[in-house]
Amino acid sequence: MVLTVGRRLHILNEYSSRCLKQVRRSHATETFKWSHRVFSGIQPTGSMHLGNYFGAVQKWVEMQNAGESVIYSIADLHSITLPQDPKHLHSNILQITATLLACGIDPDKSILFQQSRIPEHTQLCWTLGCLTTMARLAHIPTYKEKSATVKEVPLGLYVYPVLQAADILLYRATHVPVGEDQTHNLELVQHLAKIFNNRYGHTFPIPKAVVADSSISRLKSLRDPSKKMSKSEQDPKSRIEITDTPDDILEKCKKALTDFTSEITFDPEKRPGVANLITIHSLFTGLDPAEICEQNIGLDTGRYKLVVAEVIQEKLEPLRQQVQQYMSEPQYIEEVLNRGADKASVIAQQTWLDVKTKVGLQINEGSYRCLQVSEKRVM
């Protein structure tokens, strides 16, 4: 019996459909228990500031040292959503890696890697992008916020959350540290994981948010305390960076916007500028804001700024020197990123093979033989 091309395609489609139904039935009866795994990332755009350090990196180090399975990404693909100078970007990748190492990220305890070295990130991004809609992406608050600042919106800015979802799901992370302003992005990750699992069988855990303390994750700009401290802010005096010199720190603290009341009181609503300085002071020393106010009775805000500057200088100077030491050894940084990519690649390749097989992109010897048996029975 000779089969036409149309008939062979019909047989293949029927066979694929039967196999998919069997997979779904088998998955429906299984109970999946995913190993606890944390994933997070940081963009190599500009230097790390206190908001990054206290809002994310300090927690990363704590989870790493607690023995958790942690994966941290230098999210360089995300950074090119908007134009970057290639030379500066390369330097920033090295510097952010050096800064993470100086802050306590241990490549022997964590997987620390450069995102673009793992091609499965973009491959899974495309697959997940085919499961969502333009309307859903357009409603994500971070997209609305960032697109409002550019005349022509790059496609990368639009699909940014899908790549973020691919970053997380590729490593089958169960927990993701996020700030309060990033929960909407994680909701998309959860949504895409559920869609994929329902359509192709249980493949991804539904990651949970590990929300940082709001007072820590949203340290305010020194120049405009109505905004959070940010690497994208044009005024460099708006933030304290880990690599700032003692003179830089002193100058930025002096220029910090406060108010016309001289007394040191902690009132984030009515006195956000002063409260921001007290919060920074508290984070570095572990003192309660009330204790800080009591210790500084009699000081006006001008002199209190000098106190805060001294505290920051004392704590950051060892980190700054450590960053400089790592930056003087670029070959070591490359070695760290290479080892991290090797470890990350093992997990990424396993996940992507599973995804390809379930979606139908993977044609392996076993499925080919199974198809041959099916065709022989028909013939």
Q: pLDDT of 229-258, one tens digit each?
A: 988 888 999 999 999 999 999 999 999 999
Distance CA 351, CA 360 (A): 14
What are the CA-CA distances from residue 129 to residues 162, 207, 318, 353, 357 (Å)?
6, 18, 44, 18, 18
Asked whether the beta carbons of 222 and 256 are under 8 A apart, the reply is yes
Q: Which residues touch 67 (CB under 8 Å, ≥6 apart)?
A: none
What is the side-by-side order of every strand in the sheet holding 111-114?
111-114, 70-74, 38-42, 175-178, 208-211
Find, among 207, 72, 191, the residue nearest to 128 by Cα: 191
What are the CA-CA distances from residue 352 to residues 132, 231, 346, 349 (Å)?
19, 33, 10, 5
Q: Which residues are catalytic?
A: 146, 228, 231
The confidence score (pLDDT) of residue 375 equals 39
CATH superfamily of 236-326: Tyrosyl-Transfer RNA Synthetase (1.10.240.10)
To the nearest 10 degrees (0 to 180), the angle between helices 86-103 and 330-359 is 100
Q: What are phi and psi of 50, to 5 degrees?
A: -60, -35
Neighbours of 340 (CB within 10 A): 23
Tell the burial category of 67 from Cβ atoms under 10 Å away from its Cβ (0-12, 13-18, 19+): exposed
Provide the residue ranges of all domains of the chain, joining segments of one domain with +. Answer: 38-211+329-358, 236-326
Asked whether the beta carbons of 229 and 50 are under 8 A apart, the reply is yes
Distance CA 343, CA 211 (A): 27
Distance CA 209, CA 176 (A): 5
The confidence score (pLDDT) of residue 237 equals 95
Q: Which of the residues in the chain have pLDDT under 50?
A: 1-3, 5, 8-9, 11-12, 15-16, 18-20, 22-30, 367-379
pTM of the model: 0.85
CATH superfamily of 38-211+329-358: HUPs (3.40.50.620)
Residue 36 is which amino acid?
H
